[in-house]
Amino acid sequence: MNNRLKKFLSYYKPYRRLFAAVMACSILGSAISLAYPLLTRYITKDVLDGIDENALIQILLTGAAMLALAVLQAGFNYVMDYHGHRMGALMESDLRSELFSHYQSLSFPFYDRQKTGQLMSRMTNDLFWLSELYHHGPEDILKYSVKFIGSFVILLTINVPLTMAIFTFLPFMAVYALYFNKKVNIALKRNKVRISDINAQVEDNLAGIRVVQSYTNEELEKEKFEYENLRFLESRKTGYRYEAYFFNGFELFIQLISITVIVAGGAAILHSSMDLADLITFLLYVGFLIEPIQKVTHVAVLYQEGMTGFERFMEMMKIEPDIKDSPGAIELEHVRGSIEFRDVSFRYDDSQPNVVENLSLNIGAGEYTALVGPSGAGKSTICALLPRFYDIQSGEIKIDGISIQDITLASLRKNIGVVQQDVYLFAGTVLENIRYGNRDATDEEIIEAAKNAHAHEFIMKLPDGYDTDIGQRGVRLSGGQKQRLSIARVFLKNPPIVIFDEATSALDNESEKVVKDSLERLAKNRTTLVIAHRLSTIRNAERIIVLKENGIAEQGSHQELMNRNGAYARLQRVQ
């Protein structure tokens, strides 16, 4: 048994008793269905052949037996239908939880390469078909195997030559099925890729709908969508063509089998080697024999859909996080906050040049340091390297003398707070968004954090105060309000190291003043690293480091750098 099959079967383990019950009901329900033609044959051949005074009683008793079997079969089918689907839903939920948990472990470089819509498609469409396979796959195989084998045995007891004549069709049907099954499988895989592309296009459009409408580019977006939509349509059409060959070819084989039974059976009656009751019974069982063959197409498509989903699931689960805890990583505790970059070089991709090259930098515990410089100098990159959102190619980064690669990711990031220019707020209330900084915080601690961030006053003016729903990504708040909520979140987290990544560059002057005051209050008694576009916001920094593409150009206080009349002074004059 290969590893993939073991992994596939492992999801049955928590529900093995439920699975066993569903499979037992599948077998028993199918076995009962085989009894009806035999009871019909008993009436037509034995009871009605030599009618006597007990014939009616025998017919009524046989009818009562058939009714009892029908009720029993309905009970088995209910268990198979409801509890089988319930089991499939439970397994789908487990798979989705496992995949979502895996998504949480993957690093920034992975998400830089992915489209959100495609990742969502793996969690929804793929896993739905996989759960259908988990439920219907074994159930259908057992159910139709019982009907097929049972029908074959019973047909042999009725007429061996006619039964063997029917089975001459099976090798041709098998070859036909294998060929078109492969074609359908290829089409289904292509469909999944194309629908993922559509999801990615829709997600990208809806996330940026304000930009689309502000630039009146609705027609451009429609064209982009139509391109992906037509690619998916062509893929679907190809798949449906092969499915049509598949299904209709089988229908033709089934009709040939039925014609063979009628013609050969009629001839057998003429030659007295078979009677009418046996032919009727034979035709009924041919229906049972043909049903599994008919359903082979359904089971095959279900198998292909489900296994394609499982392959894509496993493909994603095999992706290792780019960044993870090293063996023996330690918890970072009692942090003072000193930071050291020693000969650090970094590039986002092997095909690109270094963004940071041989950078060496020391920041003392509790020091307020600002990074300034032109775009592309690596300011934001440096701040992304400290929490290990990306791993460096060479050199070393230390906090309190400990290499960050020797520290657990959770404890490293727990001790670093980041306030970004592009604030992300989750759909929900103000209270929920601030509490994101510390899930165990009390309402009083949240309010105190909001007051420190100068957010309490505007929050209390909202319709429901702290219980106000702020909408997707906080669309019901202004830029300054969103930024103050993100600062309140960091206040609640209370980390010893804080990074401000151009946190005021997108704000108006009035909002900037309020946010700047909040930031300075947050920076008090913490090691603070500020990336500044507006130089007016960092005049109070203890040290200002001017970066250029080839590294550090100069550093010092605002006044020292102005007196030096170098790169910093030129930036000041430009602004």
| More reliable by pLDDT, 250 or 465 | 465
**CA 556 to CA 355: how far, in whole Å?**
23
Segment 488-498 shows an average pLDDT of 88
Token output for 435: 């509490």
Instruction: Tell me how crowded residue 393 is: count the other CB atoms within 10 A of its CB.
Output: 13
User: What is each CA distance from 433 to 99, 303, 482, in whole angstroms?
Assistant: 25, 43, 10
Residue 195 has pLDDT above 70, yes or no: yes
The predicted model scores a pTM of 0.74
Give per-residue pLDDT as tens, 445-487: 999 888 888 888 889 988 999 998 887 777 788 888 888 888 8
Strand 527-531, strand 497-501: pairing:
parallel
Q: How confident is the model at residue 23 (pLDDT cuts 50, 70, 90)?
A: very high
Same domain, 302 and 389: no
**CA 457 to CA 451: how far, in whole Å?**
8
Token output for 105: 């472990």
Residue 210 has pLDDT above 80, yes or no: no
Range of the structural domain that residue 65 is part of: 11-317
Residue 75 has pLDDT above 90, yes or no: yes
Same domain, 285 and 411: no
Give per-residue pLDDT as tens, 513-572: 776 777 777 778 889 888 877 777 787 788 988 888 777 888 888 888 888 888 878 888
For the ranges 201-215, 265-279, 366-380, the maximum mean pLDDT occurs at: 366-380
**What's the number of domains the chain is made of?**
2
Same domain, 305 and 350: no
In a domain, 424, yes or no: yes
Q: Given this model, what pLDDT does residue 18 score?
A: 93
Same domain, 274 and 362: no
User: What is each CA distance from 66 to 33, 61, 70, 75, 147, in whole angstroms?
Assistant: 10, 9, 6, 14, 18
Same domain, 312 and 370: no
Q: Given this model, what pLDDT does residue 509 score?
A: 64
Please report, as a single letter, which amino acid is at residue 326. Answer: S
Q: How confident is the model at residue 510 (pLDDT cuts 50, 70, 90)?
A: low
Same domain, 313 and 351: no
Residue 1 has pLDDT above 60, yes or no: no
CB-based contact 46:62 (threshold 8 Å): no
Same domain, 228 and 285: yes
Please report, as a single letter, which amino acid is at residue 408. Answer: T
In a domain, 325, yes or no: no
CB-based contact 529:383 (threshold 8 Å): yes
Answer with the one of 264, 286, 317 that is the final residue of a domain: 317
Residue 31 has pLDDT above 70, yes or no: yes
What HEC string does 381-413 produce? HHHHHCCCCCCCCEEEEEECCEEHHHECHHHHH
In a domain, 518, yes or no: yes
Same domain, 313 and 344: no
Residue 21 has pLDDT above 90, yes or no: yes
Mean residue pLDDT of the chain comes to 84
Q: How confident is the model at residue 34 (pLDDT cuts 50, 70, 90)?
A: confident
**CA 520 to CA 446: how far, in whole Å?**
19
Strand 543-548, strand 368-372: pairing:
parallel
Beta bridge partners of 543: 369
- The SS3 call for residue 498 is strand
| More reliable by pLDDT, 185 or 169 | 169
Same domain, 387 and 254: no
% of the chain exceeding 70 in pLDDT: 95
In a domain, 559, yes or no: yes
In a domain, 405, yes or no: yes
Same domain, 505 and 359: yes
CATH at 564: 3.40.50.300
Same domain, 346 and 312: no
Q: How confident is the model at residue 193 (pLDDT cuts 50, 70, 90)?
A: confident
CATH at 223: 1.20.1560.10
Same domain, 359 and 241: no
In a domain, 329, yes or no: no
